Amino acid sequence: MKYSLEKGVNGMIWMSIITFFNFFIQLIITYFLARLLTPTDYGEMALITVLISFIAYYK
């Protein structure tokens, strides 16, 4: 029982680290895209990203 509790806590810690790392990378990518693209291009990219996310969610 103790082993599985430790394993679960260890898994939660790793998932938290991975989630934070993923958020941080996305934040950096968004910052650079916002600096490189025009407002219209950035808006189109955001719209396409939302559409792809919805399609992937309901697929």
**Dihedral of the CA atoms 7, 9, 19, 51 (nearest 10)?**
80
pTM score of the predicted model? 0.65
CB 34 within 8 A of CB 42: yes
**Whole-number Å distance between alpha carbons of 37 and 39:** 6
CB 9 within 8 A of CB 1: no
- Structural domain of residue 11, as residue ranges? 2-58
Q: What is the pLDDT of residue 59?
A: 83
Distance of CA 17 to the CA centre of its chain: 12
What's the domain count of the chain? 1
Residue-level pLDDT, tens digit, the chain, 59 residues: 677 888 999 999 999 999 999 999 999 999 999 999 999 999 999 999 999 999 999 98
